[in-house]
A and B are shown apart, each in its own frame.
Chain A
Amino acid sequence: MPDLPPLNSSALPYPDPMHPIIVHFVIAMVLFAFCCDVIGYFTHAPKLSNVSFWNMLVASIAIFFAIIVGQFEAGLAPTYPAVEAVLTRHQIIGWSLSVLVVGITAWRFVLRSSFASFEGATPEGATPSRSLFKIPPAYLGAATFLVVLVCLQVYLGSQLVWEYGLHVKPVVQAIEQGDIK
């Protein structure tokens, strides 16, 4: 086996944890897409509907990197027994979210196609009726569930860093010195 790069004092082969950065693009995009959906639901604005779709598409791509890097950094993290329950829950919800985010984005894509607001999809010069852009309440229900689950996931992830101190130098140091038992 080739030599792996040595780990630094944060127990990582690179300077700072990357998972908390990649998740920006899941958390912000899912929450903002939901805001656009709710506002769009009442105003029937086609623009907001598109903003929601593209943000969800970004979230769908980002979540795979978030999980891959997250599993990598979880695997490298020096831990102690009290962390395990929260870490396991964070991982289970993370994998579940990947299915949910991609599934809801796919649903969004189908809705978007049915809105038929694109070049060539409507007769020349015709403006599609605004009511066409109405999102079904069931979609909003699913998106609400997603937002709740994302918030729970953010809470658990925050606990891992800010409460338990995973990959936080002074805590990593204390674990490695055997001060946390």
Chain B
Amino acid sequence: MNQQLIDQLQQIGIRLGANGLPYSLPIHPNLVHLTLGLFIIAVLFDVAGTLFPLLKPVLKAFSIPALSSEFYDIGWYNLIAAVGVTFFTVAAGFFELLLANPPTDIKSDWGLGAGTTMLLHGVGGVLLLGVFAGMAVWRGFQRYRWRQGMRQQVQWSYLAVGTVMLGVLFVHGTLGAHLGGDFGLHNTAGNMVRQGENPNQLLQ
């Protein structure tokens, strides 16, 4: 973000703090907790519902009465919540990405520069939102139309796509971790260090 753009934002009343954002803590990484937690658990419970016979002895050992249909309920409701929240995750992500002031002299653990990582993470985020929404529609058809009343509520192909998505999310999430952890985007102490200031005194 260059100084002219910062001045433009000031004119409409948006004042950026030491972290380059108009608020003290980034919102995107916090919404990511919800997106990933809900989506991953949704997929895992659909897998668990499908492999239910294998799990029965474990559930019995812990005296937890359960039905496979319950596991599919978690697979469905958690997915819906994940999709709903991910619209906001991506929106907040774009807002904060546009305000980022990336260093140009650092490479991430994967040998990528900050600009490349930002592009991949930004475009990837939009694509992932599309895939999430598509999976929710697909999952809904399986639940309420194609496989209604069947013991196995989800197709093997759905589980396969879900499992692949876990790998894709790992890569995507690691790119995001590089933006925050390797490049220090929107990091208050990181920005202070870059400006030659001492966070230990400024953040008392």
CB-defined contacts of B178 to chain A, threshold 8 Å: 16
> Given A51-B74, A164-B199: A170 and B33 within 8 A (CB)?
no
Asked if B65 and A118 sit within 8 Å, CB to CB, the answer is yes
Asked if B184 and A163 sit within 8 Å, CB to CB, the answer is no
Measured CA separation A162–B36 after assembly (Å): 19
Binding site for B on A (CB under 8 A): 10, 15-17, 20-21, 23-29, 31-32, 35-36, 47-48, 50-51, 54-55, 58, 80-82, 109, 113, 118-119, 121, 154-155, 158-159, 161-165, 167-171, 174, 179-181
What is the interface size of chain B, counting residues whose CB is below 8 A from a CB of the partner? Answer: 52
Asked if A168 and B184 sit within 8 Å, CB to CB, the answer is yes
Asked if B40 and A24 sit within 8 Å, CB to CB, the answer is yes
Measured CA separation A163–B17 after assembly (Å): 11
Tell whether B203 is near chain A: CB-to-CB under 8 Å.
yes
Asked if B194 and A170 sit within 8 Å, CB to CB, the answer is yes
| Among candidates A51, A154, A163, residue contacting B33 with C-beta atoms closer than 8 Å | A154
| Among candidates B74, B81, B109, B198, residue contacting A54 with C-beta atoms closer than 8 Å | B74
| Among candidates B41, B188, B198, residue contacting A180 with C-beta atoms closer than 8 Å | B198
CB-defined contacts of B190 to chain A, threshold 8 Å: 165, 168, 170-171
Q: Provide a sorted-by-A list of 20 A–B residue pairs whose CB atoms are within 8 angstroms.
A: A10-B181, A16-B174, A25-B37, A25-B40, A50-B73, A54-B71, A55-B74, A80-B199, A82-B204, A118-B66, A158-B30, A161-B187, A162-B19, A164-B189, A164-B203, A165-B193, A169-B181, A169-B183, A170-B184, A171-B187
Measured CA separation A152–B34 after assembly (Å): 16
| Among candidates A16, A27, A154, residue contacting B177 with C-beta atoms closer than 8 Å | A16
Asked if A32 and B78 sit within 8 Å, CB to CB, the answer is yes
Asked if A51 and B173 sit within 8 Å, CB to CB, the answer is no
A35 to chain B, nearest CB (A): 7
| Among candidates B41, B66, B73, residue contacting A28 with C-beta atoms closer than 8 Å | B41
CB-defined contacts of B45 to chain A, threshold 8 Å: 54
